[in-house]
A = this chain, B = another copy of it.
Protein backbone atom coordinates (compact mmCIF):
# COMPACT_ATOMS: atom_id res chain seq x y z
CA UNK A 1 0.00 0.00 0.00
CA UNK A 2 1.37 3.44 -0.91
CA UNK A 3 2.47 5.46 2.08
CA UNK A 4 0.68 8.82 1.97
CA UNK A 5 1.26 12.11 3.75
CA UNK A 6 -1.12 13.42 6.40
CA UNK A 7 -1.20 16.68 4.47
CA UNK A 8 -2.82 14.81 1.58
CA UNK A 9 -5.47 13.42 3.94
CA UNK A 10 -6.38 16.93 5.08
CA UNK A 11 -6.21 18.64 1.70
CA UNK A 12 -8.01 15.93 -0.28
CA UNK A 13 -10.10 14.24 2.39
CA UNK A 14 -12.96 13.33 0.02
CA UNK A 15 -10.60 11.31 -2.12
CA UNK A 16 -9.69 9.05 0.80
CA UNK A 17 -12.92 8.66 2.79
CA UNK A 18 -13.95 5.01 3.01
CA UNK A 19 -10.61 3.90 1.58
CA UNK A 20 -7.71 2.14 3.19
CA UNK A 21 -4.54 4.16 3.51
CA UNK A 22 -1.11 3.77 5.03
CA UNK A 23 0.49 6.59 7.01
CA UNK A 24 3.70 6.87 9.01
CA UNK A 25 4.60 9.36 11.71
CA UNK A 26 5.39 10.05 15.33
CA UNK A 27 3.07 9.59 18.29
CA UNK A 28 2.12 12.94 19.81
CA UNK A 29 -0.41 11.57 22.32
CA UNK A 30 -1.83 8.16 23.15
CA UNK A 31 -4.61 7.09 25.49
CA UNK A 32 -6.08 3.65 25.76
CA UNK A 33 -8.62 1.73 27.78
CA UNK A 34 -8.78 -2.06 28.00
CA UNK A 35 -10.77 -2.23 24.80
CA UNK A 36 -9.71 0.56 22.51
CA UNK A 37 -7.41 3.54 22.19
CA UNK A 38 -6.63 6.79 20.38
CA UNK A 39 -3.33 7.94 18.96
CA UNK A 40 -2.58 11.41 17.67
CA UNK A 41 -0.02 10.95 14.90
CA UNK A 42 2.01 13.72 13.29
CA UNK A 43 4.17 13.03 10.25
CA UNK A 44 5.70 16.47 9.82
CA UNK A 45 4.05 17.04 6.44
CA UNK A 46 1.27 19.02 8.09
CA UNK A 47 0.78 21.13 11.17
CA UNK A 48 -2.15 19.10 12.47
CA UNK A 49 -2.15 15.53 13.74
CA UNK A 50 -4.39 12.78 12.50
CA UNK A 51 -6.30 10.66 14.99
CA UNK A 52 -5.90 6.90 14.80
CA UNK A 53 -8.44 4.68 16.55
CA UNK A 54 -7.39 1.14 17.44
CA UNK A 55 -9.07 -1.70 19.29
CA UNK A 56 -8.68 -5.22 20.58
CA UNK A 57 -9.11 -6.70 17.12
CA UNK A 58 -5.43 -5.87 16.53
CA UNK A 59 -3.25 -8.73 17.66
CA UNK A 60 -0.65 -6.38 19.17
CA UNK A 61 -3.29 -4.27 20.94
CA UNK A 62 -1.60 -4.51 24.33
CA UNK A 63 1.80 -3.44 23.05
CA UNK A 64 0.32 -0.54 21.10
CA UNK A 65 -1.42 0.72 24.22
CA UNK A 66 2.02 1.10 25.82
CA UNK A 67 3.87 2.84 22.96
CA UNK A 68 5.77 5.83 24.33
CA UNK A 69 5.32 9.40 23.14
CA UNK A 70 7.45 10.15 20.06
CA UNK A 71 7.67 6.53 18.96
CA UNK A 72 7.45 6.27 15.20
CA UNK A 73 4.74 4.03 13.79
CA UNK A 74 3.14 3.01 10.53
CA UNK A 75 -0.62 2.63 10.41
CA UNK A 76 -2.87 0.97 7.86
CA UNK A 77 -6.56 1.61 8.17
CA UNK A 78 -9.75 3.12 6.84
CA UNK A 79 -10.40 6.85 6.65
CA UNK A 80 -13.72 7.63 8.37
CA UNK A 81 -15.45 11.02 8.58
CA UNK A 82 -16.21 12.17 12.14
CA UNK A 83 -19.00 14.70 11.96
CA UNK A 84 -19.14 17.07 14.89
CA UNK A 85 -15.79 15.99 16.28
CA UNK A 86 -12.76 18.23 16.71
CA UNK A 87 -10.97 16.55 13.82
CA UNK A 88 -12.75 16.14 10.46
CA UNK A 89 -11.79 12.48 10.06
CA UNK A 90 -9.96 9.65 11.77
CA UNK A 91 -8.28 6.44 10.77
CA UNK A 92 -9.67 3.12 12.00
CA UNK A 93 -6.55 1.04 12.27
CA UNK A 94 -6.29 -2.46 10.82
CA UNK A 95 -2.57 -2.68 11.44
CA UNK A 96 -0.12 -0.66 13.52
CA UNK A 97 3.60 -1.32 13.35
CA UNK A 98 6.23 0.15 15.64
CA UNK A 99 8.99 1.59 13.45
CA UNK A 100 11.16 2.95 16.23
CA UNK A 101 10.45 3.00 19.94
CA UNK A 102 11.03 6.08 22.03
CA UNK A 103 12.66 6.06 25.43
CA UNK A 104 10.53 7.00 28.41
CA UNK A 105 12.85 9.93 29.16
CA UNK A 106 11.80 11.74 25.98
CA UNK A 107 12.29 15.39 26.94
CA UNK A 108 9.32 16.77 25.04
CA UNK A 109 6.40 15.37 26.97
CA UNK A 110 3.05 17.01 26.55
CA UNK A 111 3.49 19.68 29.20
CA UNK A 112 4.50 23.15 28.11
CA UNK A 113 8.18 24.02 27.99
CA UNK A 114 9.80 27.43 27.92
CA UNK A 115 11.32 28.60 24.66
CA UNK A 116 14.64 28.92 26.49
CA UNK A 117 14.56 25.25 27.45
CA UNK A 118 13.60 24.20 23.96
CA UNK A 119 16.66 26.01 22.57
CA UNK A 120 18.83 23.59 24.51
CA UNK A 121 17.23 20.66 22.72
CA UNK A 122 17.34 22.16 19.25
CA UNK A 123 17.52 18.62 17.85
CA UNK A 124 14.04 17.84 19.24
CA UNK A 125 12.23 21.20 19.30
CA UNK A 126 11.08 21.01 15.64
CA UNK A 127 8.77 18.23 16.88
CA UNK A 128 6.84 20.71 19.07
CA UNK A 129 3.82 22.60 17.75
CA UNK A 130 5.45 26.01 17.89
CA UNK A 131 8.61 25.06 16.03
CA UNK A 132 6.82 22.82 13.60
CA UNK A 133 4.85 25.93 12.62
CA UNK A 134 7.83 28.30 12.65
CA UNK A 135 10.05 26.24 10.40
CA UNK A 136 7.33 25.30 7.95
CA UNK A 137 6.55 29.01 7.59
CA UNK A 138 10.26 29.79 7.22
CA UNK A 139 10.49 27.32 4.35
CA UNK A 140 7.40 28.72 2.62
CA UNK A 141 8.58 32.31 3.04
CA UNK A 142 11.94 31.44 1.50
CA UNK A 143 10.20 29.90 -1.46
CA UNK A 144 7.82 32.85 -1.81
CA UNK A 145 10.83 35.15 -2.07
CA UNK A 146 12.44 33.07 -4.82
CA UNK A 147 9.09 32.81 -6.60
CA UNK A 148 8.49 36.56 -6.47
CA UNK A 149 11.86 37.48 -7.93
CA UNK A 150 11.99 34.66 -10.47
CA UNK A 151 8.53 35.54 -11.79
CA UNK A 152 9.84 39.05 -12.42
CA UNK A 153 12.90 37.72 -14.24
CA UNK A 154 15.44 38.56 -11.53
CA UNK A 155 18.60 36.46 -11.69
CA UNK A 156 19.58 34.71 -8.45
CA UNK A 157 23.27 35.30 -7.66
CA UNK A 158 25.39 33.47 -5.10
CA UNK A 159 27.82 36.08 -3.86
CA UNK A 160 30.90 34.75 -2.02
CA UNK A 161 30.76 33.78 1.65
CA UNK A 162 34.52 33.88 2.18
CA UNK A 163 35.70 37.32 1.22
CA UNK A 164 39.17 38.68 0.74
CA UNK A 165 37.75 42.14 0.35
CA UNK A 166 37.82 44.40 3.37
CA UNK A 167 35.58 46.77 1.53
CA UNK A 168 32.19 46.22 3.02
CA UNK A 169 32.60 47.97 6.34
CA UNK A 170 29.14 46.93 7.51
CA UNK A 171 30.32 45.41 10.77
CA UNK A 172 32.76 43.26 12.69
CA UNK A 173 33.94 40.21 10.79
CA UNK A 174 34.90 36.61 11.52
CA UNK A 175 38.31 35.59 10.29
CA UNK A 176 38.57 32.46 8.11
CA UNK A 177 41.92 30.71 8.22
CA UNK A 178 43.78 27.45 7.88
CA UNK A 179 46.84 28.77 9.73
CA UNK A 180 47.82 26.80 12.81
CA UNK A 181 46.62 29.39 15.32
CA UNK A 182 48.76 27.82 18.02
CA UNK A 183 51.90 28.54 16.00
CA UNK A 184 51.05 31.35 13.65
CA UNK A 185 53.73 31.95 11.01
CA UNK A 186 55.18 35.47 11.24
CA UNK A 187 57.08 37.54 8.73
CA UNK A 188 60.35 39.36 9.44
CA UNK A 189 58.53 42.23 11.08
CA UNK A 190 56.64 39.96 13.42
CA UNK A 191 53.31 40.29 11.61
CA UNK A 192 51.13 37.34 10.68
CA UNK A 193 52.37 35.90 7.40
CA UNK A 194 49.10 35.73 5.49
CA UNK A 195 50.95 34.43 2.43
CA UNK A 196 50.97 31.07 4.18
CA UNK A 197 47.21 31.12 4.73
CA UNK A 198 44.91 29.16 2.44
CA UNK A 199 44.02 32.07 0.19
CA UNK A 200 47.46 33.71 0.58
CA UNK A 201 45.81 36.72 2.18
CA UNK A 202 43.57 37.57 5.09
CA UNK A 203 40.00 36.42 4.54
CA UNK A 204 36.76 36.88 6.45
CA UNK A 205 33.13 35.85 6.39
CA UNK A 206 31.00 38.22 4.36
CA UNK A 207 28.79 40.80 6.03
CA UNK A 208 26.91 41.61 2.83
CA UNK A 209 26.77 40.52 -0.80
CA UNK A 210 25.69 43.93 -2.00
CA UNK A 211 28.84 45.16 -3.72
CA UNK A 212 29.12 41.90 -5.67
CA UNK A 213 25.38 42.00 -6.41
CA UNK A 214 25.95 45.40 -8.02
CA UNK A 215 28.39 43.73 -10.42
CA UNK A 216 25.65 41.37 -11.49
CA UNK A 217 22.94 44.03 -11.69
CA UNK A 218 25.18 45.86 -14.17
CA UNK A 219 25.16 42.75 -16.36
CA UNK A 220 21.71 41.19 -15.78
CA UNK A 221 19.80 44.35 -14.87
CA UNK A 222 17.71 42.78 -12.06
CA UNK A 223 19.30 40.35 -9.62
CA UNK A 224 18.92 39.15 -6.05
CA UNK A 225 21.03 37.30 -3.52
CA UNK A 226 19.68 35.01 -0.81
CA UNK A 227 22.37 33.60 1.41
CA UNK A 228 24.02 33.63 4.82
CA UNK A 229 25.82 36.69 6.18
CA UNK A 230 27.76 37.15 9.41
CA UNK A 231 28.44 39.68 12.16
CA UNK A 232 31.03 39.11 14.86
CA UNK A 233 29.32 41.57 17.18
CA UNK A 234 29.12 40.81 20.84
CA UNK A 235 25.49 41.82 21.19
CA UNK A 236 23.07 39.62 23.05
CA UNK A 237 19.70 40.96 21.97
CA UNK A 238 16.53 39.24 20.83
CA UNK A 239 17.02 40.65 17.33
CA UNK A 240 20.68 39.89 16.59
CA UNK A 241 22.38 36.68 15.56
CA UNK A 242 25.96 36.12 14.41
CA UNK A 243 24.81 34.13 11.38
CA UNK A 244 21.67 35.05 9.49
CA UNK A 245 20.28 34.99 5.96
CA UNK A 246 19.85 38.08 3.83
CA UNK A 247 18.02 38.84 0.62
CA UNK A 248 19.75 41.59 -1.36
CA UNK A 249 18.01 42.61 -4.60
CA UNK A 250 19.82 45.02 -6.89
CA UNK A 251 18.28 46.72 -9.92
CA UNK A 252 19.94 48.62 -12.76
CA UNK A 253 18.21 51.55 -14.44
CA UNK A 254 16.36 52.02 -11.16
CA UNK A 255 16.01 55.02 -8.87
CA UNK A 256 15.20 55.08 -5.17
CA UNK A 257 11.44 54.92 -5.79
CA UNK A 258 11.86 51.79 -7.89
CA UNK A 259 13.40 50.05 -4.89
CA UNK A 260 10.53 51.19 -2.68
CA UNK A 261 7.93 49.94 -5.16
CA UNK A 262 9.66 46.59 -5.53
CA UNK A 263 10.15 46.07 -1.79
CA UNK A 264 6.54 46.96 -0.99
CA UNK A 265 5.26 44.53 -3.60
CA UNK A 266 7.61 41.81 -2.35
CA UNK A 267 6.57 42.09 1.31
CA UNK A 268 2.88 41.92 0.36
CA UNK A 269 3.53 38.95 -1.90
CA UNK A 270 5.28 36.98 0.82
CA UNK A 271 2.56 37.71 3.40
CA UNK A 272 -0.14 36.55 1.01
CA UNK A 273 1.77 33.44 0.02
CA UNK A 274 2.30 32.36 3.61
CA UNK A 275 -1.28 33.14 4.65
CA UNK A 276 -2.57 31.06 1.75
CA UNK A 277 -0.15 28.17 2.06
CA UNK A 278 0.10 27.83 5.84
CA UNK A 279 -3.34 28.79 7.15
CA UNK A 280 -3.20 26.35 10.06
CA UNK A 281 0.23 27.52 11.19
CA UNK A 282 -0.74 31.18 10.91
CA UNK A 283 -3.89 30.61 12.91
CA UNK A 284 -1.77 28.98 15.60
CA UNK A 285 0.52 32.02 15.77
CA UNK A 286 -2.44 34.37 15.88
CA UNK A 287 -4.02 32.40 18.70
CA UNK A 288 -1.06 31.42 20.87
CA UNK A 289 1.96 33.56 19.99
CA UNK A 290 0.77 37.03 18.98
CA UNK A 291 -2.93 37.82 19.19
CA UNK A 292 -2.64 40.91 16.99
CA UNK A 293 -0.84 39.07 14.18
CA UNK A 294 -3.63 38.75 11.61
CA UNK A 295 -4.71 42.35 12.08
CA UNK A 296 -1.15 43.53 11.58
CA UNK A 297 -0.42 41.37 8.54
CA UNK A 298 -3.74 42.11 6.86
CA UNK A 299 -3.17 45.78 7.47
CA UNK A 300 0.21 45.53 5.75
CA UNK A 301 -1.08 43.47 2.84
CA UNK A 302 -3.94 45.88 2.18
CA UNK A 303 -2.46 49.30 2.87
CA UNK A 304 -0.24 51.49 0.78
CA UNK A 305 3.02 51.91 2.66
CA UNK A 306 3.70 55.41 3.92
CA UNK A 307 6.63 57.42 2.54
CA UNK A 308 8.18 60.28 4.42
CA UNK A 309 11.55 62.00 4.25
CA UNK A 310 13.89 61.84 7.19
CA UNK A 311 13.64 65.62 7.52
CA UNK A 312 9.82 65.44 7.70
CA UNK A 313 10.03 62.51 10.10
CA UNK A 314 12.27 64.47 12.46
CA UNK A 315 9.78 67.35 12.44
CA UNK A 316 6.86 64.99 13.09
CA UNK A 317 8.67 63.38 16.02
CA UNK A 318 9.67 66.75 17.47
CA UNK A 319 6.11 68.08 17.20
CA UNK A 320 4.57 64.87 18.59
CA UNK A 321 5.01 65.95 22.19
CA UNK A 322 6.11 62.41 23.00
CA UNK A 323 9.05 62.20 25.38
CA UNK A 324 11.79 59.98 23.96
CA UNK A 325 14.74 58.58 25.83
CA UNK A 326 17.00 59.88 23.04
CA UNK A 327 16.06 63.45 22.03
CA UNK A 328 15.31 63.94 18.35
CA UNK A 329 17.21 66.39 16.24
CA UNK A 330 18.19 66.55 12.59
CA UNK A 331 21.33 64.55 11.97
CA UNK A 332 20.84 61.79 14.54
CA UNK A 333 20.50 58.16 13.66
CA UNK A 334 16.90 57.24 14.46
CA UNK A 335 16.63 54.88 17.43
CA UNK A 336 14.24 51.95 17.64
CA UNK A 337 11.95 54.02 19.89
CA UNK A 338 11.70 56.70 17.20
CA UNK A 339 11.20 54.20 14.43
CA UNK A 340 8.47 52.35 16.25
CA UNK A 341 6.70 55.57 17.25
CA UNK A 342 6.64 56.66 13.61
CA UNK A 343 5.34 53.41 12.18
CA UNK A 344 3.04 52.43 15.07
CA UNK A 345 1.68 55.73 16.42
CA UNK A 346 1.94 58.17 13.53
CA UNK A 347 1.37 56.01 10.46
CA UNK A 348 -0.19 52.86 11.88
CA UNK A 349 1.31 50.94 8.96
CA UNK A 350 4.69 50.32 7.32
CA UNK A 351 6.51 53.47 6.30
CA UNK A 352 9.57 54.18 4.19
CA UNK A 353 11.76 56.93 5.62
CA UNK A 354 13.86 58.42 2.81
CA UNK A 355 16.76 60.80 2.26
CA UNK A 356 18.81 60.43 5.40
CA UNK A 357 21.71 62.72 6.34
CA UNK A 358 24.77 61.56 4.43
CA UNK A 359 26.97 61.34 7.52
CA UNK A 360 24.96 58.54 9.13
CA UNK A 361 24.77 56.39 6.01
CA UNK A 362 27.16 54.24 3.98
CA UNK A 363 29.66 55.64 1.48
CA UNK A 364 28.02 53.98 -1.56
CA UNK A 365 24.66 55.75 -1.18
CA UNK A 366 23.85 58.35 -3.77
CA UNK A 367 24.35 61.97 -2.75
CA UNK A 368 21.24 64.08 -3.29
CA UNK A 369 21.23 67.49 -4.99
CA UNK A 370 21.10 69.23 -1.61
CA UNK A 371 24.61 67.95 -0.81
CA UNK A 372 23.44 67.03 2.72
CA UNK A 373 21.30 63.92 2.27
CA UNK A 374 21.57 60.64 0.40
CA UNK A 375 18.95 58.71 -1.59
CA UNK A 376 18.64 56.03 1.09
CA UNK A 377 15.54 54.57 2.63
CA UNK A 378 14.67 52.24 5.48
CA UNK A 379 11.37 50.43 5.78
CA UNK A 380 9.93 50.60 9.29
CA UNK A 381 7.14 48.24 10.28
CA UNK A 382 4.92 48.12 13.38
CA UNK A 383 6.12 45.78 16.08
CA UNK A 384 9.65 45.40 14.70
CA UNK A 385 11.07 48.71 13.58
CA UNK A 386 13.56 48.48 10.69
CA UNK A 387 12.85 45.57 8.36
CA UNK A 388 14.63 46.70 5.19
CA UNK A 389 17.44 49.11 4.40
CA UNK A 390 18.42 50.24 0.95
CA UNK A 391 19.41 53.07 -1.33
CA UNK A 392 20.10 54.31 -4.76
CA UNK A 393 23.82 53.66 -5.30
CA UNK A 394 26.33 56.40 -6.14
CA UNK A 395 26.96 55.84 -9.83
CA UNK A 396 29.07 58.97 -10.46
CA UNK A 397 32.74 57.98 -10.48
CA UNK A 398 34.05 61.37 -9.31
CA UNK A 399 31.52 61.71 -6.47
CA UNK A 400 32.24 58.17 -5.31
CA UNK A 401 36.02 58.63 -5.43
CA UNK A 402 35.74 61.85 -3.42
CA UNK A 403 33.60 60.12 -0.83
CA UNK A 404 36.05 57.22 -0.48
CA UNK A 405 38.88 59.69 -0.01
CA UNK A 406 36.89 61.89 2.37
CA UNK A 407 36.14 59.10 4.82
CA UNK A 408 39.65 57.69 4.67
CA UNK A 409 39.05 54.44 2.80
CA UNK A 410 41.68 52.93 0.57
CA UNK A 411 40.82 53.47 -3.09
CA UNK A 412 42.77 50.39 -4.20
CA UNK A 413 40.49 48.15 -2.12
CA UNK A 414 37.62 49.25 -4.33
CA UNK A 415 39.24 48.94 -7.74
CA UNK A 416 36.55 46.73 -9.25
CA UNK A 417 33.72 48.63 -7.60
CA UNK A 418 35.07 51.84 -9.11
CA UNK A 419 35.60 50.21 -12.51
CA UNK A 420 31.88 49.45 -12.66
CA UNK A 421 31.46 53.23 -12.82
CA UNK A 422 33.84 53.48 -15.76
CA UNK A 423 32.27 50.98 -18.12
CA UNK A 424 28.65 51.89 -18.72
CA UNK A 425 27.37 52.91 -15.34
CA UNK A 426 23.64 53.44 -14.83
CA UNK A 427 21.43 54.63 -12.06
CA UNK A 428 20.87 51.64 -9.87
CA UNK A 429 19.29 50.81 -6.55
CA UNK A 430 19.01 47.94 -4.15
CA UNK A 431 18.09 46.86 -0.68
CA UNK A 432 18.70 44.30 2.02
CA UNK A 433 16.10 42.31 3.90
CA UNK A 434 17.08 40.30 6.95
CA UNK A 435 15.29 37.00 6.42
CA UNK A 436 14.97 36.16 10.14
CA UNK A 437 13.50 39.60 10.88
CA UNK A 438 10.89 38.84 8.26
CA UNK A 439 10.11 35.47 9.84
CA UNK A 440 9.74 37.12 13.25
CA UNK A 441 7.40 39.59 11.63
CA UNK A 442 5.34 36.86 9.92
CA UNK A 443 5.05 34.62 12.96
CA UNK A 444 5.08 37.02 15.91
CA UNK A 445 7.99 35.12 17.46
CA UNK A 446 9.88 37.52 19.68
CA UNK A 447 13.41 36.12 19.64
CA UNK A 448 15.60 35.58 16.59
CA UNK A 449 16.97 32.40 18.26
CA UNK A 450 13.55 30.85 17.78
CA UNK A 451 13.31 31.34 14.02
CA UNK A 452 16.75 29.88 13.15
CA UNK A 453 17.13 26.09 13.28
CA UNK A 454 20.51 26.22 15.03
CA UNK A 455 21.20 29.84 16.06
CA UNK A 456 24.73 31.20 16.45
CA UNK A 457 25.18 33.93 19.06
CA UNK A 458 28.14 34.95 21.25
CA UNK A 459 29.19 31.82 23.15
CA UNK A 460 26.73 29.57 21.32
CA UNK A 461 27.55 27.27 18.43
CA UNK A 462 25.91 24.04 19.51
CA UNK A 463 24.78 21.38 17.03
Contact = CB atoms under 8 A, between A and B. Distances in A.
Interface in A126-176: 126-127, 131-132, 135-136, 138-140, 142-143, 146, 150, 153, 155-165, 172, 174-176
A94 B225 CA distance: 36
Copies of this chain present: 2
A123 B215 contact: yes
A199 B460 contact: yes
Given A150-B143, A174-B176, A422-B103, A44 B219 contact: yes
B453 A158 contact: yes
A182 B202 CA distance: 12
Contact of A175 (B102, B160, B176, B186): B176
B253 A165 contact: no
Interface stretch (A260-268, A283-291, A346-354, A423-431): A423-431
Given A198-B242, A459-B199, A424 B27 contact: yes
Contacts of A164: 461-463
Contact of A424 (B100, B126, B221, B242): B100
Interface string A426-449: 110000000000000000000000
A19 to B, nearest CB: 20
Interface string A243-254: 101000000110
A43 B155 CA distance: 12
A266 to B, nearest CB: 16
A192 B184 contact: no
B160 A174 contact: no
A124 interface: yes
A160 B463 CA distance: 8
Given A44-B252, A136-B220, A162 B230 contact: yes
A8 to B, nearest CB: 9
A403 B395 CA distance: 59
Interface in A177-202: 177-179, 181-182, 184, 186, 191-192, 198-201
Contacts of A175: 176-179, 181
A60 to B, nearest CB: 17
B222 A45 contact: yes
A70 interface: yes
A77 interface: no
Contacts of A177: 174-175, 177, 181
Nearest to A191: B182
Nearest to A195: B459
B72 A221 contact: no
Nearest to A462: B164
Interface string A195-226: 00011110101000000100110111110000
B124 A220 contact: no
Contacts of A203: 461
A327 B138 CA distance: 50
Chain A: interface size category: 35 or more
A456 B100 contact: no
B232 A178 contact: yes
A25 interface: yes
Contacts of A245: 158
Contact of A253 (B99, B150, B232, B422): B99
A452 interface: yes
Contacts of A7: 153
B45 A132 contact: no
B395 A160 contact: no
A26 B424 contact: yes
A38 B218 CA distance: 22
Contacts of A218: 127
Given A99-B426, A160-B456, 14 more contacts: A44-B155, A99-B424, A101-B424, A122-B215, A132-B219, A142-B156, A160-B461, A162-B174, A162-B230, A162-B243, A162-B461, A212-B453, A212-B454, A215-B463
6 contacts: A44-B222, A143-B150, A143-B156, A159-B454, A182-B186, A212-B453
Interface of A: 3, 5, 7, 24-27, 43-45, 70-72, 74, 99-103, 106, 122-124, 126-127, 131-132, 135-136, 138-140, 142-143, 146, 150, 153, 155-165, 172, 174-179, 181-182, 184, 186, 191-192, 198-201, 203, 205, 212, 215-216, 218-222, 227-228, 230, 232, 234, 242-243, 245, 252-253, 395, 416, 419-427, 452-454, 456, 458-463
